[in-house]
Structure 1
């Protein structure tokens, strides 16, 4: 019997080629097991390429092009890492706007590893406590965030973690925040 904590919730996963596969698949399984509908959103149609560090992994079918997606239709957002994935997403204005809209609507967002790179571009980390892959530390601080080296950090509905080793804590906190829903204090 599966947990139904997130029954009637719809969670978007925003990714493109080069995402760290386990940072998509493990949260996907945890959130789906909690009862949510999960939707793979991407600026690409068709399939996107997962990675196991620097090796190609599996390809995944995109459910919805980000140009046709609206944060209004989701209860939360997950941003997997991998180096190429967020680097590409942060140069795609429609993807950045999609991310920013979750913050404007006070909806929970979970970003792991290199995923917070996109949050910098969306200008939503100023004044927030976050963590990430260590190489993003200076970028996040320069964008106004307080960066800490912790397994999982939650600041008003924004869940961040450092790397694949943190996935269990990341998934647990993401499910909790998605279940809680809107955060009145989460602002752009």
Structure 2
């Protein structure tokens, strides 16, 4: 499977990028770092700068159809920057329109709120997004991992870095099921 990881050039929570990335690689799949600009993305350990990672593909030059699934890492700044970029929002929305699975952790559902794809869905996130999700027509729950199959694709969400093990296991399983179904 070829899995897109969508991040802004700055602000991604490092562990929410590296742990799912490692899980995808360890499972024998291909993780691809997609960003709004070429070059590198700057990761953070909460508010402190951490490592940088090379961008593989740029939004607007790649389509959702070339991937089997999408992972949206969190961090506060990352999804806030992404939701202001029309190409990034469109890229995320395309996964839903094409029935491809999407996984989002922590603050990442902000991008999905902007893409107008949470209506009628049940998901979890960092607690501060609860009102945004409800206002966008979604139902927010406080669970380690929530798998929602409302609509043509699966949406796998988690709350925070402490949920990463369960999040990675859940999205890998759901992405594999979706791939088998195609």
Asked if Structure 1 and Structure 2 have the same fold, meaning a TM-score greater than 0.5 normalized by the shorter chain, the answer is yes
User: Secondary structure, in 3 states, of the residue corresponding to 1:82?
Assistant: coil
Equivalences for residues 1-188 of structure 1 within 5 A: 9-16=1-8, 17-156=10-149, 157-181=154-178
| 1:5 counterpart residue number | none
User: Secondary structure, in 3 states, of the residue corresponding to 1:149?
Assistant: coil
Change in Cα spacing, 1:153 to 1:64, as seen in structure 2 (3 Å) is same
In the TM superposition, structure 1's runs of 4+ consecutive aligned residues that sit over 2 Å from their partners are none
Gaps of 5+ in 2: none
Shift of 1:148: 0.3
RMSD: 1.2
TM-score scaled by structure 1? Answer: 0.92
Gaps of 5+ in 1: 1-8
Taking the aligned partners of 1:96 and 1:25, their CA distance within structure 2 comes to: 22
Shift of 1:182: 6.1
Once the two structures are superposed, what CA deviation does each residue of 1:122-164 show, in whole Å capped at 9, x if it has no partner?
0000010000001100000000011000000000110000000
